[in-house]
Amino acid sequence: MAENSLTLALVQESDRGDPNANLDACEVAIREAARGGARLVLLQELHNTRYFCQTEDPACFDLAEPIPGPTTARLGRLAGELGVVIVGSLFERRAAGLYHNTAIVLDADGRLAGTYRKMHIPDDPGYYEKFYFTPGDLGFEPIPTAVGRLGVLVCWDQWYPEAARLMALAGAEILLYPTAIGWNPDDAPDERTRQRDAWILVQRGHAVANALPVAVCNRVGFEPDPSGATAGARFWGHSFVCGPQGEILVEAQDQAPQLLLAEIDRTRTEAVRRYWPFLRDRRIDAYGDLVKRYRD
């Protein structure tokens, strides 16, 4: 990478009830980010639609689209026009009956630089993703772009140190997480705080353990459960960027859409790894049990 710094933008948005309206809002924010000097823009998980996984509804498969497809074409044109790299997140229709939760990377020249299919798929109350998404099969491979090698992961992946580590070992220069996570409105306030703090803490830990900057873009706002079975989800926002020692560089609030800009010092990974040489001291001869589900 030729430059020592990178301006990164996060587009924290709420669902506007229509895919075109959601994409329009993303485009407005991306243009503003580019005017502010951003060369890399991260959008939230499944930014075209509401978070439809609160319930299991076969009709929701109609929301999926192919890759390449209309959204990659639109974001690609925008990326090429503005000279920015855009990381988005789509419901991918790969074939009839085969769907993925897929991150897309549009390079600064407008081409589709690569994709990442979400590897860890949750199945919890309000997050019934296993009904919709096939686990990813592209591995943990950084995507080369005009701004460097991007380690793109998606939401539930962010709880797994193995995913972050494998991206780092493959040469990722920054970890990026499009995300959709929120509270059950029935949860007590102290439980909400614990959940949000744990979410921030674990990802700051990935930054520290790998000496990499981490960027997390979450959605925000209340979305009702169409089935009426639960109280819905209030997505907690708090999109953030941290540096390679876990230091918070910018953080959004939890009530409304927000565009965040952060300046990343690209020289710090090398500097931090020189005096915290975690990769040097890994005991790769002793980690064989990590490929087991559990040691009985």
Catalytic residue IDs: 45, 118, 155
In 83-239, DSSP assigns E strands to 85-95, 98-106, 112-117, 123-124, 127-128, 143-145, 148-152, 174-179, 182-183, 214-218, 220-223, 233-236
Number of neighbouring beta carbons within 10 Å of residue 285? 6
Residue 184 near residue 224, CB atoms below 8 Å: no
CA 43 to CA 61: how far, in whole Å?
21
Number of neighbouring beta carbons within 10 Å of residue 185? 13
Residue located via tokens 């993925």: 100
CA 82 to CA 106: how far, in whole Å?
12
The torsion defined by the Cα of 236, 28, 68 and 139, in degrees rounded to 10, comes to -40
The torsion defined by the Cα of 88, 273, 2 and 263, in degrees rounded to 10, comes to 50
| Pairing of the two strands 98-106 and 85-95 | antiparallel
Residue 48 near residue 69, CB atoms below 8 Å: no
Residue 88 near residue 117, CB atoms below 8 Å: no
